[in-house]
Structure 1
Amino acid sequence: MKSFFDNQSLFTVIWKWKQHLIIVGVITIIASAVFSSPYFITPLFQSQARVYPTNTQSYSEESESEQMLEVFNSTDIKRQVVDAFNLTSRYGIKEDDPYFRTKILKKYDDRIECKKTEYESIELMARDADPQIASNIVDSLVAFYNRKVLFLRQQKAFEEAFSYQNDLVRKKKEIDRVSSEMESLRKEYGLLDYEIQTEQVTMGYMTALAEGANRTAVNDIKDLMTSLEEKGGQFFLLQRELEALEIQRDTINRRYDKAIAIAEKEETYTMVVEEPFPADKKSYPTRWLIVLVSLIAVEFLALLTVFSLEGIKSSKQ
């Protein structure tokens, strides 16, 4: 007995069952149109924005845009959005559910998306049943990002300022120690400035000898020369150490002032190139696509069923 496919073409089978296939198709179209309607699937409206990072710097091999994306996708930002818009209630998730966190984050990722574009900008998208809420969520993402980055920068700046402040305290103690030693040498040995005094004392001694100054004046000069010989080197080193410490103190002080300025500065870290707005047309579901896919799938299954029935019937003949 010849096989089914040997004695009857596929077209003949389809034509034979055409009424059934048409009826199945019509029912599928009606059913898919009904079940994709707002009565069964809540329509969602999409709002989006595009932003670039600004007033930031890269702290690793990642680009500034990639670092921005990390912050947007952080759990902290997600938690703020969930709390601000009461998404737990909007998404119908109970807080006493043992898998509450997993479910709310999954729903969040389904409705809210942040991704990098090929032009290094970050695209923010939010979908919600209320177009205004979707737009507000995108606006809030930008606001929460700015607040988060500002907090991180201020926190880092305050830490740096605190460190510089401790350095200033240490430098002040070192400067006070050196100044105290120098003051002791000034009082005990009359030393003021090693290089200047050495030059002046030498010239004064030579002049005194040349002009035949009295013995007392010459002895005073000799005593000062002796002090310079004995303690001048120590005084000179203390002078140089003090100068170096004062330069270090001034450098630290400038860094401290800069850190405080950053910590107290209020600025934004996003440049919005595409503002979000409430959509006037839903983005989900795409009913025609649902109807088309459903029709193709059901008709394919119907054809398989028809061919199976015809094959069984043919095998019995």
Structure 2
Amino acid sequence: MDVGLFDFALPPESIALRPASPRDSARMLVLDGTATRDARVTDLPGALRAGDLLVFNDTRVIPAQLEGRRGDARVGATLHKREGPRRWRAFVRNARRLRDGDTIDFGEGVTAIASDRDDDGSLALDFAGEEPVETLLERAGRMPLPPYIAGKRPTDARDLDDYQTMFAAEPGAVAAPTAALHFTPALMASLEAAGIGHATLTLHVGAGTFLPVKGEDTDQHRMHAEWGRIDAATAERLNAVRAAGGRVIAVGTTSLRLIESASDAAGIVHPFEGDTAIFITPGYRFRGIDGLVTNFHLPRSTLFMLVSALMGRERMQAAYAHAIQTGYRFYSYGDASLLLP
């Protein structure tokens, strides 16, 4: 498909630089069937039905951005995906200054050897020493805010909390599953009181989530693989909810992509552990989910293509135009939408 079909004009002032406070006070645009209405995230219990199940991603963001030197050259690295106990693939700024075997000094006693350059420009980094890489990152790394926020202000201490969800438990993501940032213990209690359950899975979000679609046709885009897991008990629970007439509502595109990766043609979710590079565009038939809570996404992005596949491209273009006109806040720290096809 023509990537230009998924373009729209977004004013820079629509980009949120901080989350709503409290988190669940964010606005929420509800698309339910053919109806569209404005609401708040706190209205979610009334927008769903008893017996529905919300599925959250329990990945935890690690301090995956590093600044270092190779000799006199400054080098920046954003870790993307773990490839071994001490090896991470990373997108590297100023990578042209690096050759296979070069050592990058990230300060604080943290060094890594670069190698194995990929066609996408990423490199493998093998971290030196005996300490766990997670310990090294805590010492030398910083929170990997998306470029559309980091380009407007520096990362600060607030982001250490703001950019983690209340479900964050499994370290390994280099970007937050941001739809879940809106959820609070108070909101979860209200959902439980309304008979709406929740479950968790794990998908370690990679830096590839920030990469634009560079080609003019979706067939030219290469999705980066991310590691995920749905255990047997969770798969069984998702299947039981739908068998009983409830709906499985993914919280975030990461949860949705993993559920769809684990679902068969009959809509049965199976246990899953491994990489997924699923790319969902209009024409895709959804198998494992019945709805989605998600933020507002970038023009021409794979995520706007995904929501267009779920709700229809023209419907989403109209919804985003309404959101822009009425002052919804976009991207990772922005407002939410509830999409129920």
TM over 0.5: no
Tell me the TM-score normalised to structure 2 length.
Answer: 0.16
Tell me the TM-score normalised to structure 1 length.
Answer: 0.17
Higher strand proportion, which one?
A: 2
Larger Rg: 1
